[in-house]
Structure 1
């Protein structure tokens, strides 16, 4: 629990950090805050906040930067959104509406708008049938190294996909795979199955039987959802002078954007949570210097997709969050009118 002095020091420090992206020292916090405290007093409070996990000191001689915990506290307790002007709202609505009823053009336009207003990378994920449930899966042997997966849903839908497998996998193996997977996943929503497959693939160790490992790998291939489109805009923003200061994290972000399955995993999780903010290594594996702001949009029958922005931890949340929120709401409104 933070006292008022700690909250004000934390809020002041984070406000400066979001503007500069650099570690913040006690002297500037003393000048910017309205507490009337000396630099030494501010330094002691910053030390307490560091001990409590809200701040981090990257180098011994440097100032402090907020941790994911500190930023989450700020966004939940202190943050005040920068409202859109009526002109800005009208322009966004007009731009999105003029592409209807073309779904692809509308989603592509939404991604372009998000990237333009945020000056970050935008990701807009096309809808998934959220309510579809697994009934059964079968694998048909085509030739060595190639299998047809036949996924049957409880809603009487069928999804077929050709997948590449190890050439030593036999017809008998495929029967074992389907029996194993059907027993494990029957009746579960597809978005839960996808998450479970990815999680269990990550945790698979040598202790698991070879059958288990191979079955999960084949199931993961079957669930690579090529029918869902991901509209990515603004990758040039990654090359900005500000973000190029850390080449390694920049490379990791480019690699992340190339992995559709990983993007689907993260964005699908946010569908159930409404407007959502994932911050740093606490939420994003291997992306400790970045954050994702996302919000779902929905059709009448429950089909959902996601609009999101990914950028450095010091991006302008105050400005970006209400714009992500508005675009998701506008998409929901117009999709429910047209579909």
Structure 2
């Protein structure tokens, strides 16, 4: 146990009991409660003395003189690193989450929104996620569709099932043959290219093949380029913000407002999920003051990375009170990571392979 080797088993068992009870009740825990609920073979007086020692050592805190104890950040850290016993999800829960994630996974953005929604619902906390910048992502297909007179819809599909579309206004109403020709030429010229490879030579070749005035073609090309540019930008997702209002730690409107403002900025979400990708298979837990951002220092962030092909990683995470049900959240996070990987591989490879 390294940092906890010098602590005796009795203190560790009491600390685990205090944290488990506090997670469930949100009320300071007294020695009598521990003696009554847990079969530790210790008297209330002995437990009280051990809790006083744990407080002096920095693992517990006493919010009021007459109250019981609550865990400190140091106590939670020891708990999640050495004392936690992970919840084993029921078969029904696993099947429910698996079925929910596999639904409607037609493209990456929809899949990520779906995953964050399921994660917040399954844990009862806020879920956040990011997709990294993908400036080497290749275009798979471009389609131009007539919408109404003077309007066209440009749809771009990239690797990984990422879809973007833009509405284009042109001065004339093109005939269907023109629209089909534009789609055919665009696919022949830019399918398989990334944004950096669509240069002036490629654009010149498109113009030569389509043979229409720039006033008609350039709005379409601008829309295609805009779609590709948005594919290559970072994406951030947030779901379940209302969940935190049910926890007593978040009854303070000022605290809630600061956290919600934090989540309004994509860069902040990136920082909350900023991880060491060399440990991509692990779940990372940042508790209270361990978080980089001031507004998150009363909360816990649990995150993990999700592989996207051979070299890219997205990240998903949970934000909740430091009094988080760590055991259940970690189990759900590991399951979601594995299921996301399966669904991404289906989108990216166009097959139905599944990791067991």
In structure 1, how many angstroms separate the alpha carbons of the residues matched to 2:263 and 2:330? 21
Separation in 1, partners of 2:283, 2:136: 20
Gaps of 5+ in 1: 133-155, 159-224
Deviation of 1:272 after TM superposition, in Å, equals 4.3
> Distance in 2 between the 1:90 and 1:241 partners?
28
Query: How far, CA to CA, are the matches of 2:135 and 2:313 in structure 1?
Result: 6
Identify the residue that residue 29 of structure 1 maps to in structure 2.
34
> Structure 1 residues 51, 336: CA separation in 2 closer, same or farther (over 3 Å shift)?
same
CA distance in 2, matches of 1:283, 1:295: 15
1:260-300, Cα deviation, whole Å (9 max, x unpaired): 21221221225444311111113344333210111110122
**Alpha-carbon distance, 1:116 to partner:** 0.7
Cα displacement string for residues 145-173 of structure 1 (whole angstroms, at most 9, x for unaligned residues): xxxxxxxxxxx976xxxxxxxxxxxxxxx
Q: State whether structure 2 residue 310 is matched by structure 1 residue 301.
A: yes
Q: Distance in 1 between matches of 2:135 and 2:87?
A: 32
Instruction: Please give the secondary structure, in 2, of the residue aligned with 1:46.
Output: helix
CA distances 1:176-199 after superposition (whole Å, capped 9, x unpaired):
xxxxxxxxxxxxxxxxxxxxxxxx
Confirm or deny that 1:332 pairs with 2:335. no
In structure 2, the residue matched to 1:231 is 237
Alignment of 1:52-91 (within 5 A): 52-91=57-96
What CA distance in whole angstroms lies between the structure 1 residues aligned with 2:68 and 2:53? 14
Deviation at residue 105 of structure 1 after TM alignment: 1.0
Is the 1:257–1:263 contact (alpha carbons within 8 Å) kept by the matching residues of 2? yes
By how many angstroms is 1:45 displaced? 0.7
Tell me the TM-score normalized by structure 2. Answer: 0.64
Give the whole-Å Cα distance in 1 for the aligned partners of 2:135 and 2:240: 28
Choose the corresponding residue for 1:275, options 280, 283, 298: 283
Q: Distance in 1 between matches of 2:94 and 2:277?
A: 24
Cα distance in 2 for partners of 1:30, 1:248 equals: 38
Match of 1:110 among 101, 106, 115: 115
Q: In the TM superposition, what are the counterparts of 1:36-185 in structure 2 within 5 Å?
A: 36-129=41-134
Q: Which runs of 4+ in 1 moved over 6 A?
A: none
My pick for the range that moved more, 122-131 or 231-240, is 122-131
**Take 2:274 and 2:290, find their aligned partners in 1: how far apart are those partners?**
18
Consecutive unaligned residues of structure 2, counting only runs of 5 or more, are: 1-5, 138-193, 197-230, 349-356
Across the two proteins, how many residue pairs are aligned to each other? 251
Taking structure 1 as reference, are residues 245 and 39 closer, same or farther at Cα in structure 2, changes over 3 Å only? farther
Q: Residue 61 of structure 1 aligns to a residue in which SS?
A: coil
**1:226 and 1:103, CA in 2 relative to 1: closer, same or farther beyond 3 A?**
closer
Counterpart Cα distance in 1 of 2:293 and 2:34? 31
Q: Is the CA contact 1:296–1:328 (under 8 Å) kept in the aligned structure 2?
A: yes
